[in-house]
Amino acid sequence: MWSSPPATWLLYGFIASVLGFFWYRSKVKKEAIDESDSEAAQKSIKADPDFDLQSSISSLPDALILLGAQWQLRWANQTACDWFGINLAQSTDHPVWQVMNIPGFVDYLSKKEFGDSFDCQAPADTNVRLGIRIVPYRENQFLLQGRDITKIGQLEQIRRDFVANASHELRTPLSILYGYLEMMRDEPVESIGSQWKPAIEQMFTQTERIKQIIDDMMLLSRLEQVDTDLHHEFHPMAPLMHNACKDAEALSVNKGHIVECQIDENYSLLCDAEEIRSLITNLISNAVRYTPDNGTIEIRWKVDLVGGYLSVIDTGIGIEEKNIPRLTERFYRTDPARSKAAGGTGLGLAIVNHIVNRHQAKLIIRSKVESGSEFMVHFPSESIRADHEQVNLLLK
Ligand code: ADP
């Protein structure tokens, strides 16, 4: 292969140089054409007496508002004025949260987590649902962009209704099937025939699984309903956590796990107690299912000045880092066969995530394969109340 005479190599070299020369010339020419095209476009825009950038932006279908460093309203296009009910003559230089007066908007601005959008009803047009985003602009300025997401919201609602109705409709026939199979399973072998016994046992197990999935889907649908059914009150956390520890011990009994509990007494959490119970149950049941025999499960409730931390830590199989961001998606499993064998529905962490969001909390997942996992829920300090005993102790 390397034995070609030098003349052949010279010929190849010459052909390559000629091709290279033509490629380079055509590239330079194309760039020159592109450049002159864009210059020409700029010139023609400048020369066009009818072109006015501000009025072009004004007629965009999205709302655009220019904000100062202290959120003062500097300018807004027509769509923004229509949706937010802004009168530019009166509102310019006033704080935008005052001008727009949308519940929750001040919190959104002060958190400065602008990767997330803020969804709300348009104050001046209740038929329009808006997705608001803030983008840093030049030095110390911001651009607020509002987009009409009414259609997306309607489609989401159709999807939610479908899942809720389908699960509800499936529940009744399934309960009947489940009841009969349970009865047949308990019958002595002689009366149903030995050849049917394993089949009935399997049908019963699978029906139980479907029932569990439907229950989880119904719970998810309920959690997805927009904030109208939030029942948040202060609930003492210690009794709830002690019960969770007892449940963990009961679930772990066959696997020989060590269950350790560290609970800060005398703090209440502003929450829906039922939802928090469901959140803990899901985290504990995962820890038990994904921790091999004789491992350790730690359950913690800690409070400091920044808030309350509810953690479930295990020495289980762990999760690969690349999978962590997707764990809260419905039916996402890192190992589907293992999850099904362990009796999982694939909806547990999606339920946890919904409950976390409904409590303005944050879910933090840390894990290392073969070492274990930590699922921590951080509740903001506004949701924590020190109970009287604690206050009295501090005063002594
Ligand atoms: P499942 O019912 O499959 O457990 P979940 O939504 O509760 O569904 O969890 C999603 C996936 O996250 C699981 O299938 C499993 O792969 C992984 N997972 C959850 N908790 C743990 C844990 N404590 N240790 C290891 N993997 C876990």
Q: What is the pLDDT of residues 295-345, one digit of tens each?
A: 999 999 999 999 999 999 999 999 999 999 999 999 998 888 877 787 788
- How confident is the model at residue 31, as a pLDDT? 54
Per-residue pLDDT tens digits for 117-126: 899 999 998 8
Average pLDDT score, the chain: 86
The CATH code belonging to domain 53-148 is 3.30.450.20
Kindly state the average pLDDT of the residues 36-58: 59
* CATH pick for 152-224 out of 2.60.40.10, 1.10.10.10, 1.10.287.130, 2.30.42.10: 1.10.287.130
**Section 111-117 average pLDDT:** 84
Distance CA 166, CA 95 (A): 46
The string of DSSP codes covering 348-382 is: HHHHHHHHHHHTT-EEEEEEETTTEEEEEEEEEGG
**Rounded Cα distance, 235 and 232, in Å:** 9
Pocket-testing residue among 251, 283, 298, 333, ligand 1, by greatest number of atoms within 8 A of Cβ: 333
**Residue of the CA atom closest to atom 14 of ligand 1:** 333
Superfamily of domain 231-389: Histidine kinase-like ATPase, C-terminal domain (3.30.565.10)
Task: Kindly state the tokens that stand for 278.
Answer: 């469901």
- Cβ of 286 below 6 Å from ligand 1: yes
For residue 235, what are the contacts with CB-CB under 8 A and spacing of at least 6?
268, 269, 271, 273, 276
Return the higher-pLDDT residue of 53 and 254. 254
Q: Determine if residue 370 is left, alpha or beta; phi over 0 gives left, psi from -120 to 50 gives alpha, anything else beta.
A: left
Token couple for 145 = 């962009």
Q: Does the C-beta of 330 come closer than 6 Å to ligand 1? A: no
Structure tokens at 303: 């409070």
Q: Is residue 24 over pLDDT 80?
A: no
Residue 325: predicted pLDDT: 95
Q: Residue 64 in 3-state DSSP? A: strand
Closest atom of ligand 1 relative to the 336 alpha carbon: 14
Cβ within 8 Å of residue 249, ≥6 positions away: 259
Cα 243 from Cα 121, distance rounded (Å): 41
249-278 per-residue burial string, b: 16 or more CB within 10 A, e: under 16: eebbeeeebebebebbebbbbbbbbebbbb
Indicate if the pLDDT at residue 361 is higher than 60.
Answer: yes
> What band does 157 get if pLDDT is binned at 50, 70 and 90?
confident
DSSP one-letter string for 121-185: EETTEEEEEEEEEEEEETTTEEEEEEEE-HHHHHHHHHHHHHHHHHHHHHHHHHHHHHHHHHHHH
- Tell me the C-alpha distance between 3 and 266, whole Å: 87
Could you tell me if the CB of 314 is within 6 A of ligand 1?
yes
Higher-pLDDT residue of 285, 231: 285
Domain range list for the chain: 53-148, 152-224, 231-389
Kindly state if the Cβ of 216 falls inside 6 Å of ligand 1.
Answer: no
β-pair partners for 135: 143
Instruction: Give the 3-state secondary structure of residue 337.
Output: helix
Ligand 1, closest atom to CA 349?
6
DSSP state of 326: G
Highest mean pLDDT among 101-110, 149-158, 185-194, 233-242: 233-242
- Ligand 1 mean position, distance from CA 333 (Å): 6
d(CA 207, CA 373): 31
* Residue with tokens 């969770």, as numbered in its chain: 244
Q: How many helices (H) and strands (E) are present in the chain, helices listed first?
A: 14, 13
Q: Whose CA is nearest to atom 11 of ligand 1?
A: 333
